[in-house]
Amino acid sequence: MSTELNKSVVLRFNREVIQEGNEAVFKELMADGFINHSAPEGTSKGAEGMWHTFQNILRPALSGLRVAIHDQIAEGDKVTTRKTIVGIHTGVFLSIAPTHKEVAIDVIDVVRLANGQYAEHWGINTLSSVIASLK
């Protein structure tokens, strides 16, 4: 696939999966054998671990969840994205009671795609700083 098509897959994932919670699109875009190299220790590095994070941690805790894409750079089969995941903390978030504050998690991730699907993921984010600010 071309770099522009790869970027469009990653953009679709961010909009339809992370922001909208569309499980059918998630399943469509995940390759068999997907590996999340950035999964927290003790959690699944497969697709089910990533879905769990979005659907059972972020979405219930952050109302109005949206993803702002700031930059995307593609080379070969990899796409790097700089983005911010934003929402209002209205549900329990990693054991923290709702504060009704706006939460903004800055993320830089790298996705390797194969045949238009997520094959591997690496990422860094500011989640630990966000958690500290809510306590």
Domain ranges of the chain: 3-134
Give me the half-sphere count of Cα atoms (radius 13 Å) on the Cβ side of residue 18: 20
> Both tokens of residue 121?
């993921």
**CATH (residue range 3-134):** 3.10.450.50
- Euclidean distance between CA atoms 1 and 114, whole angstroms: 8
Name the helix (H) or strand (E) containing 27.
helix 23-29
100-134 pLDDT per residue, tens:
999 999 999 999 999 999 999 999 999 999 999 99
Q: Is 45 exposed, middle or buried (0-12, 13-18, 19+ CB in 10 A)?
A: middle
Predicted model pTM = 0.94
pLDDT higher for 104 or 135?
A: 104
